[in-house]
Amino acid sequence: MQKLFTLAAVALAAFAATSVHAQDFPAKDRTITIVVPFTAGGPTDRVARDLAEALRKPLGGPTIVVDNTAGAGSSIGTAKVARANPDGYTILLNHIGMATMPGLYRKLPFNVENDFEYAGMINDVPMTLIGKPTLPANNYKELTGWIDANKGKINLANAGIGSASHLCGLLFQSAIKTEMTPVPYKGAAPAIADLMGNQVDLLCDQTTNTTQQIEGKKVKAYGVTTSKRLTTPGLKDLPTLKEAGLANFEVTVWHGLYAPKGTPAPVIKRLNDALKVALKDPTFIKNQEALGAVIVTDGRLDPAGHKKFVSAEIAKWTPIIKAAGAYAD
């Protein structure tokens, strides 16, 4: 009986400590670290820094810093958060890589679906299919004719294995049932530079990386990967690929927030509540619109909807990646 009483007391004390901790989250003297598993200055880093600023007020004004822990297709930074203390002070902001890592890597030091608490989705960033300036095709219909006439000779650039452009390229080849020669780069900037210089033929990348080049007519633009046309100035006249004739082709680079497994539910709720407020911040919205991003307002904003969506994305991307033999290890 004494043993049972002791166990009950320990459990009650632990529960009370967790409740107090969650109720006081975030403490005024603690810093919240948002780990971004990519280098500073990139699209995901920009989203994180804008979000950090927007989160401060609804969280009560804590210090929020961004930690860029890049490498291995975002798996290094993601693993860092999986190992972190589950108290809400170390969280992860990652993109579509959360759904593609299980297919890209034969071994991961974490399980995407089981080793994290999901705190809500942030945005969707559309992709654009663009071509070199000297490419003779001026629209998607002409592009399909050019592809048919040049099978086996086409180069498709990407920003590296596991990057958004790599994934979009894989999906595009799968959709049109045509293999192209992949040309991986160490980032989007050199890939786009070579595309503008006519060194490679095609690239499918985020609006955050391509809008300026499309507006400046430095590349040929063939369509966006969303179900509806974009309202972004400079892209609003660009047709969707579905509209242009490519059925069932929709892909976006989405971003979400995650915490280590075991983070108390009240802390996750606090983060999610703050996220919902932050996504309505006028400055954050303006910055995201400038990137061509669309703020999430549907069920994916809730933790359960977020996790359900990522599981569906894993199921979508894994067979595509494995069929292409695109392993990163």
Residues 309/252, Cβ–Cβ less than 8 Å: no
Q: Is the pLDDT of residue 19 over 80?
A: no
Tell me the pLDDT band of 22, cut-offs 50, 70 and 90: low
Among the listed residues 250, 103, 73, the one whose alpha carbon sits nearest the alpha carbon of residue 171: 250
- Give the per-residue pLDDT at 10: 43
Length of the chain: 329
CA distance 290 to 191: 22
268 vs 215: which has the higher pLDDT: 268
Q: What is the pLDDT of residue 21?
A: 54
Tens digit of each residue's pLDDT (9 = 90 or more) over 94-141: 999 999 999 988 889 999 999 999 999 999 999 999 999 999 999 999
Q: Which residue has the tokens 């539910």?
A: 265
Question: What b/e string do you get for 76-111 counting C-beta neighbours within 10 Å, with b at 16 or more?
Answer: ebbbbbbebebbbbbbbbbbbbbbbbbbbbeebebe
pLDDT of residue 41: 82
Range 54-76 average pLDDT: 94
Residue 7 has pLDDT above 60, yes or no: no
H-run or E-run covering 175: helix 164-176
| Structure tokens given for 302 | 């809730």
Q: How far apart are CA 133 and CA 202, in angstroms?
A: 10
The helix (H) or strand (E) run that includes residue 242 is helix 241-244
15-21 contacts at long range (C-beta below 8 A, 24 or more positions apart): 18/264, 19/266, 21/87, 21/264, 21/267
Question: Taking residues 294-298, what's their average pLDDT?
Answer: 94
- Cβ distance 117 to 246 under 8 Å? no
Give the chain's end-to-end CA distance (angstroms, integer): 54
DSSP code of residue 122: E
What's the pLDDT score for residue 26?
A: 96
**Is 215:118 a contact under the CB 8 Å cutoff?**
no
Containing H/E element for 253? strand 252-260
Instruction: With 0.75 as the threshold, say if the pTM is over it.
Output: yes
Of 12-21, 62-71, 199-208, 294-303, which gets the smallest average pLDDT? 12-21
Taking the CA atoms of residue 306, residue 232, residue 220 and residue 165 in that order, the dihedral angle to the nearest 10 degrees is -20
Lowest average pLDDT, out of 12-26, 76-90, 127-141, 216-230, goes to: 12-26
